[in-house]
Structure 1
Amino acid sequence: MSEAFEHLWTPYRMAYIRGAGKPTGAHDCPFCAIPAMSDEDGLIVARGTTVYAVLNLYPYNAGHLMVVPYRHVPDYTDLTDAEVAELGAVTQTAMRVVREVSGAHGFNIGMNQGSVAGAGIADHLHQHAVPRWGGDTNFMPVLGLTRVLPQVLGETRDLLAAAWPEPGTGTRPAPAQPGGQA
């Protein structure tokens, strides 16, 4: 193999791995700050009453969404009944929309509760919805230890947001442009 292909670099990840910029409380929590941003700047796909859906800034796969309560709580047991219900409903909608837009074959849905369980931001609960396709684990993550995303996050956000049903109506907006992939 050529020397040029022996290393794939993603240096922006090192700050994340080392914990730089990780929140120390609600005052610097990115999940608390995101709702104050525009949907485009915050990569917000949809806003609900108690939770919102946002693209993961460090996605495992294209279209990797997170459903996040607005309240700064660390544990699933801290959610109210209304938050649990909306978190589930928004997760279902996320799955439907991602399937519609990108043809996902399956999903990994889950939460990492606490740092020891792998939560990158343990102080603010968030549920991952990671779309999967047959053969999506190709040689790049296995050999190159990197992921290939076919689209920049802003474009993915735009496609998913355009396909998201109007709140409370279940009515879908006009279909996304053909050929788009989340």
Structure 2
Amino acid sequence: MTEAAAGEGTPYRVAVSADEDGPSSVFEHLWTPYRMAYIRGEGKPTGAHDCPFCVIPTLSDEDGLIVARGATVYAVLNLYPYNAGHLMVVPYRHVPDYTDLTAEEVTELGALTQTAMRVVRAVSGAHGFNIGMNQGAVAGAGIADHLHQHAVPRWGGDTNFMPVVGLTRVLPQVLRETRALLAEAWQRQAPVEPGGQG
């Protein structure tokens, strides 16, 4: 709940009509008006011609923040990371759904995800990972038209008040430095043959 100058020390509440001890009396509200542009889809790509995941592979690895390139997919740092070392594994083809991938793309997406985990563990000692993809805008995909899998490294105690209260993510390293470290470590990573142990 927020407080306003409605009187010295008087909490300010937003009146909700006909609530009658409903949700507004139980839940506090965290207002996030900056997300409205995201919800409305403002500035979202309208096709492959302006899709960032289609444009990134045309850039140099440094400019595109690409860590590794495969035959059908590539690994890139997230420009808006949830944690330091947040990678995405992205097919070159502009397809929206996991079911649209070929068997070769599925295999390489899985292999690059495994390598991403090994590399981030080697470079930064990640304790765990959130691995996944949001399929469709309704499921939270920021760019729903081009499939991408997230690999977010996690450490014990990495969630704190800063993102919630301060609207700030604390990242200890700039993205270009992170990309260089991960790319160098990626090249040292021995490839794992399909069906092999990793």
TM-score, with length taken from structure 1: 0.81
SS of 1:116's equivalent in the other structure is: helix
SS at match of 2:68: strand
Match of 1:51 among 28, 50, 73: 73
Q: Secondary structure at the match of 1:165?
A: helix
Corresponding position of 1:69: 91
170, 174, 181: which one aligns with 2:191: 170
Please give the residue correspondences for 1:14-163 in structure 2 after superposition, counting only pairs within 5 Å: 19-163=41-185
Q: Runs of at least 4 residues of structure 1 off by over 4 A? A: 12-18
The Cα shift of 1:16 comes to 5.7
Q: Within 1, Cα distance between the matches of 2:137 and 2:40?
A: 13
RMSD: 2.1
5+ long unaligned stretches in structure 1: 1-11, 172-182
Residue range with higher mean Cα deviation, 96-105 or 134-143: 134-143
Work out the CA distance in 2 between the residues paired with 1:13 and 1:103.
32
CA distance in 2, matches of 1:150, 1:18: 32
1:57–1:18 CA distance, 2 compared to 1 (3 A): farther
Measured in 2, the distance between the counterparts of 1:76 and 1:145 equals 32
Q: 1:13 to 1:166 in 2, by over 3 A?
A: farther
AA in 1 matched with 2:59: M
Identity over aligned residues, as a percent?
A: 87
Distance 1:137 1:45, change over 3 A: same
* Structure 2: segments with no counterpart, 5+ residues: 1-33, 193-198
Which of structures 1 and 2 has the bigger CA Rg?
2
Deviations 1:140-181 (A, max 9, x none): 1232232100011111000000100369x539xxxxxxxxxx
* Larger relative contact order, structure 1 or 2 (CA cutoff 8 Å, min sep 6): 1
Q: Aligned residue for 2:9?
A: none
SS in 2 for 1:62: coil
What is the CA–CA distance in structure 2 between the aligned matches of 1:19 and 1:48, rounded to whole Å?
31
